[in-house]
Structure 1
Amino acid sequence: MGLRRPAPGQGPATRYFMSFHYFAGAACRALTARKDGPSLYEVCDPVLAASASGDPHLAKFYKTALGNPALRILLRRAGLPELRDDTKLARLREALVRARDEAEPDWAAVGQPVAELVDSIALDHPKPPPAMFTGSAPPQAQIDGVIRDCAQHLLGSYRKNGFLPTYAAFNLIGDPDFRGRELIMALTGLNARGYKNSSLLFNLARVFIARSPAGAVVNPPWKGIAEPMWEPVQIRHRSAYYDAFFIEALLSYVETGLASAADKTEAERAIADMVDFCVNISREEVEGIDGARFNVITALAPAPHPRFSRYFAQIKQDLGFGVYVPDCDTTACSISAATQAGCTDPIIDQPLLDFYSGYQVRAGINEPRVTVPLNDNIDYEGGVATWIDNLKGERPYGNDLDPTLNLDILEVSFRNLTRWKILETPARLATVHRIIGFQKRLAASGAFANPRSHIYYLPELYSAYFGRCYAAFLALPLAAQALIDPDGDFDFIRHRVLSYVKGELMAAEMNVFDAALALIALGHLGADPRAFAPALNVIVAGLGEGGRRGPFRAYEWNKMKTPTRILVGGPEVTSAFVLMGLAVAKRAMARG
């Protein structure tokens, strides 16, 4: 059972907006299916349900995440016939016992029986059907109206909450690119034991879900590429990474000229508060590879700043997310947003490229820095890894390397080119050149368009972020552009990304979030404004789909592949990206 597309003949209402009838029918089939082999609970209860020995977290995680009554009911008839073989069942339970009781388990051996089961499921990435041709764009007045609606949603949410919330949601069926091989990578490359425990058990559970009718409940079909975030369980929280993009969205609203004087004042007040959250509240000191100290931005500030409810704060701890460390992406995006907002805090003066160079992969020298190489189909040379060791030396997630993150490092470097003396400092310029080389190889091979190449994002989001990076590059003087990109690599990548956006993303059915990302890419990369029409029409037609929560629904912005597929987004996130996409399109159309 894969990430299913709607069956031919389904109407729009039943195809994409799952009704009560869909879920009732899917649940009924899951609850009445013929049971064929031991269930998840018949496998695990003897080992974990009442365990008082060994690592207490494994049993606690099992009871919290997988043993809850609702999931037990849903999966009670989901069995695996191969586990009727007593030898295979005993081998699987033995692996769980080793994970529970051994002080230093051999995680590759522990994970092998689960990895073999994971390889028995078939998941696919969405393959939207071709889109109908759209000739004309909606009137400018309608586009401006959507911009205002999105801005009012953001400002109203900020007034109501005191911040702009984002949400995390678990999809227990897992990620299509995460198979048995990747599970072993995670178990051996992650550092925190709680994170290994959760990865092991989540992946065991996803086999029972994906191979039973329960999969239709957990993973309903959708339109487009970015996954909608299905309710009811979503974890609201705040992060500097999210605030950075909310800052850019409100800045783009002010720049459209559509904001009233009162809205402009309110937006500026929210921007100033979010800049402070990014560069002060979320600031953390770390040590670079050469021992020098730097201030970076942590993904989750200390409590109570992430705004978790007390219930979810405890759940986060129980699931193995007790320690959060800073990361290179949150740092880059936060410093970029603060720079755009005119912040003068000394943190912006740090030449971050000196720090990033210590996390840059050099083939044959520091490749072991990437301990969780889930996207090892790409060449890491020149790329910067994700996670930053804190001062205690903790690295709970091991480390990985994401292409989109590296675009954010380039973008913030272009915005601070003069401040960081990049052209005058050969080592810093060399770091930039090597990241550009990393990106060019992705474009030349076409790997950027393969979802497996990305750790936290989707190819259409990479395309939008490349557009954002390219716009910062074009804002530089021509002489600086020539020194940064003497071989015209950016133009080469631009053509490849435009080809993907126009020839693949927009040639198929899109949802609102896909369309917003397409507009960001097209507008920044200098596409003919007539090419905007399909994305503009998708957005205008989708207005109101969010119901009481906002103009639009919550969609997947970024994701985790471990310990299972965790989506991050929210109605406010969709409004922010739609606002930015329409603002970019509006500027491009005004230029003709």
Structure 2
Amino acid sequence: MSFQYFAGAACRALTARKDGPSLYEVCDPILRQPGSGDPHLSKFYRTALGNPALRTLLRRAGLPELNDPARLHALRQALVLARDNATPDWAAVGGPIADLVDSVALRHPAPPRRASAAAMPPAAEVERVIRACGADLLGSFAGNGFIPTYAAFNLIGDPDLGGREVLMALQGLDARGYKNSTLLFNLARVFIARSPAAAVINPPWRGIAEPMWQPVQIRHRSAYYDAFFTEALLSYLETGLASPEQTGAARGAIADMVDFCLKISREQVRGADGKSYDVVTALAPHPHPRFSRFFTQIKQDLGFGVYVPDCDTTACSFSAATQAGADDPILDQPLVDFYAGYQVRAGGNEPRVTVPINDNIDYEGGVATWIDSMAGERPYGNDLDPTLNLDVLEVSFRNLSRWQILETEGRLDFVRRIVGFQQRLVLSGAFADPRSHIYYLPELYCAYFGRCYHAFMALPPAARQAIDPDGAFELIRLRVLAYVEDELIGREMNAFDAALALIALGHLGGDAASFAPAVHCIIASFGEGGRRHPYRAYEWNKMKTPTRILVGGPEVTSAFVLMGLALARRVAVG
């Protein structure tokens, strides 16, 4: 978006006609000054919502229904209950906020159909961009000592989080600070979405993945990201396009990132079987996440002080280390035995999913996200994401022999049940619905299914038959490939969308001609990142609670583009 766009949008927000109390007229009498009860709620309000910039932007954003004294009183009483009660009834607290959230009409992106055909760019252009993206990753590692990723808040919230889902979150999350932030963020998003301020905070964009143009972006390091960047650099080496100096630098970076995943980010937990397991935490202890000193304090104030391991970070870290040829003893653990304690069985351990905001899908056979720490902490409650379960399958395929999955009835049953979960998801069409996903886009699910399918097809035929005797993977492949060819590349894309399309097409056997629109988009978008990076930052993954928090970065886009073009070069460019 141009400066003129934001200037005009800000002017309209600042001069809008005000009808009804603003967020601050509702909350200031209760939360602006610390008082009795839970001190965090007031601290969060002052830190996250009461800052001068947001106050200025929202000062004329009022809700006319709050002109009703009874409704305004009910809302304020809910905030008083959240502030003063040590163990509030979160359904009662959230009720008035949920009613307001349901008045917000947000929509997912719906790009127009692509108007014209695209020709495949020359192979030299593809190779030039691959080299530029590889250089971007290696240059970032050399300059920072790691490859950073960024988080950014979008206060307008997620279209899939209506009033019902807000109440689910308030009742299913564990940490009090996380409940507080969910409550207040969702109250604030109503005032934003129903005012001209929405155009400033949530401007339109091209394609599906959201660009990260928010002014506050939080740089950090996580094993999940290092695992992904490891795979990207391995892909770069496989292209043969890296110079001898880059090859040495890439191998050094890969070794460092695998070490960060398996050693620095290692945490011991206890499984449902009573045994101890080493898993990988979402954020390693300070100072390893590399937050700035300023944000370290802000993070505490906002209620994000406790992090626990998760099944996705663990799976991706083990997979990347396996692909890199690591021999750390942690990889010998039969991780599937641990994951089995987090696998949902209908009517059995379904209560493990305490935040079922995507309950439009059948959880049976899926593995939940968050791992209880040794101290029993589970700040986010638990949820279940389909793309995470692809990562669990993928790491299981890569370690099939090491973990003796085919030789162990319970382990083979565990894997088959995840395959069944994925088959029901895809054959129902729910995989293409953003509401089905907690942390990812449907388009990213397609790319990650391609990654999983590639690992599956690398297995011997007898192993594939034992895992998938009914041909579920082929059924899923056809459905996902059709979605990518008909919907994703059939519409206007940005560079990140196009990279996801290429990864799916390359792994799932897309027709050579179908690569051209995505490759053309990537080549045409080259340079959009300005002087420092080939591409801008886009949404890679997200949190839907406490508000829409996007994670990505320009280096992330470079990595996805690199991997997508490497596959296109092998399959379609020649």
Scaled to the shorter chain, the TM-score interval is: over 0.9
Q: Secondary structure at the match of 2:531?
A: helix
What is the match of residue 473 of structure 1? Answer: 456
Report the CA distance between 1:315 and its aligned residue. 1.1
Aligned mates of 2:373, 2:254 — CA distance in 1: 28
Q: In the TM superposition, what are the counterparts of 1:416-431 in structure 2 within 5 Å?
A: 416-431=399-414
What residue in structure 2 maps to residue 411 of structure 1?
Answer: 394
Residue by residue over 1:245-298, the C-alpha shift from the partner in whole angstroms, topping out at 9 and shown as x without a partner, is 100000000000001111000000000000000000000000000110000000
Residues 121 and 210, structure 1, Cα contact 8 Å, conserved in 2: yes
Unaligned segments of structure 1, at least 5 residues: 1-17
SS in 2 for 1:206: helix
* Deviation of the 1:135 alpha carbon: 4.2
What is aligned with 2:49?
66
Indicate whether 1:205 and 2:195 are aligned. no
Q: 1:549 aligns with which of 515, 532, 535?
A: 532
1:538-575 per-position Cα deviation (integer Å, ceiling 9, x unaligned): 00000000002300010000000000000000000000
The equivalent of 1:538 in structure 2 is: 521
**2:569 equivalent in structure 1:** 586
Deviations 1:351-395 (A, max 9, x none): 100000000000000000000001000000000000000000010
Deviation string for 1:493-536 (max 9, x for gaps)?
Answer: 00000010001111110000000000000000011222100000
1:485 aligns with 2:468: yes
Instruction: Give the superposition deviation at 1:29.
Output: 0.1
Which residue does 1:155 correspond to in 2? 138
Distance, in Å, in 2 between the alignment partners of 1:252 and 1:180 is 43
| 1:501 correspondence with 2:451 | no
Contact 1:107 1:187 in 2 (8 A): yes
Q: For the Cα contact (< 8 Å) 1:79–1:208, is it kept in 2? A: yes
Query: What percent of counterpart residues are identical?
Result: 76
After TM superposition, give the deviation of residue 589 of structure 1 in Å: 2.9
- The answer on 1:396 being equivalent to 2:409 is no
Query: Could you tell me which residue of structure 1 aligns to residue 19 of structure 2?
Result: 36
In the other structure, the counterpart of 2:209 is: 226
Deviation at 1:232? Answer: 1.5
Contact 2:134 2:558 in 1 (8 A): yes
For 2:69 and 2:122, locate their aligned partners in 1 and report how far apart those are by CA, in whole Å: 67
Q: How does 1:142-541 map to 2 (within 5 A)?
A: 142-541=125-524
Q: Distance in 2 between matches of 1:350 and 1:482?
A: 25
Native 8 Å contact 2:34 2:43 kept in 1 = no
CA distance in 1, matches of 2:492, 2:90: 42
Contact 2:174–2:378 at 8 Å: present in 1 too?
Answer: yes
Gaps (5+ residues) in structure 2? Answer: none
> Secondary structure at 1:295's aligned position in 2?
strand
User: Aligned match of 1:109 in 89, 92, 95?
Assistant: 92
Question: 1:284 is paired with a residue of what secondary structure?
Answer: strand
Aligned residue identity for 1:290:
D
* 1:25-70 CA distance string (max 9 Å, x none): 0000000000101000000000000132100000000000000000
In 1, Cα distance between equivalents of 2:230 and 2:572: 23
Deviation, structure 1 residue 420? 0.5
For 1:150 and 1:317, how far apart are their aligned partners in 2?
A: 35
The residue number in structure 2 matching 1:137 is 120
C-alpha displacement at 1:586, in angstroms? 1.5
Output one character per residue of 1:386-416: Cα deviation in whole Å (capped at 9) or x when no partner: 0000000010000000000000000000000
* 2:6 corresponds to: 23
- Hey, what's the Cα distance between the residues in 1 that align with 2:491 and 2:389? 28
- Is the CA contact (8 Å cut-off) linking 2:169 and 2:179 kept in structure 1? yes
- For 1:126 and 1:391, the matched residues in 2 are separated by 41
Question: 3-state SS of the aligned residue for 1:549?
Answer: coil
- Per-residue CA shift, 1:60-94, capped at 9, x if unaligned? 00000000000000000000011111111111000
Note if contact 2:153-2:214 (Cα within 8 Å) is conserved in structure 1: no
Give the structure-1-normalised TM-score: 0.96
* Cα distance between partner residues in 1 of 2:460 and 2:106: 47
Within 2, Cα distance between the matches of 1:24 and 1:135?
35
How far is 1:136 from its partner? 2.1
CA distance in structure 2 between the partners assigned to 1:39 and 1:499 by the alignment: 47
Deviations 1:433-463, CA, capped at 9 Å, x for gaps? 0000000001110000000000000000000
Give the corresponding residue for 2:108.
125
How far apart, in 2, do the equivalents of 1:396 and 1:133 lie?
49
Q: Which amino acid aligns with 1:41?
A: Y
Matched residue, 1:4: none
Kept after mapping to 1: 8 A contact 2:118/2:520: no
Structure 1 counterpart SS, 2:368: coil
With the length of structure 2 as denominator, give the TM-score of the two structures: 0.99
Deviation at 1:584, TM superposition (A): 1.4
Q: Is the 8 A contact 1:549 1:571 kept in 2?
A: no
Over 3 Å off, 4+ runs: none
Distance 1:457 1:491 in 2: 23
On the 8 A contact 1:170/1:566 being kept in 2, the answer is yes
Aligned length: 574
Shift of 1:309: 0.1
Say which SS state the counterpart of residue 339 (structure 2) adopts: helix
| SS of alignment partner, residue 186 of structure 2 | helix
| Distance (Å, rounded) in 2 between the aligned partners of 1:122 and 1:252 | 41
CA contact (8 A) 2:172 2:355 kept: yes
Which whole-Å CA distance do the structure 1 matches of 2:273 and 2:332 have between them?
19
User: Which amino acid counterpart does residue 136 of structure 2 have in structure 1?
Assistant: H
1:559 aligns with 2:556: no
Instruction: Tell me the SS of whatever aligns to 1:276.
Output: helix
**Secondary structure, aligned partner of 2:440:** coil
Separation (CA, whole Å) in 1 of partners of 2:465 and 2:282: 34
Are 2:68 and 1:85 aligned? yes
Q: 1:55 aligned to 2:56?
A: no
User: Contact 2:515–2:572 at 8 Å: present in 1 too?
Assistant: no
Q: Secondary structure at the match of 1:224?
A: coil
1:281 maps to a residue whose letter is I
Q: Is the 8 A contact 2:440 2:540 kept in 1?
A: yes
User: Secondary structure of 1:556's match?
Assistant: coil
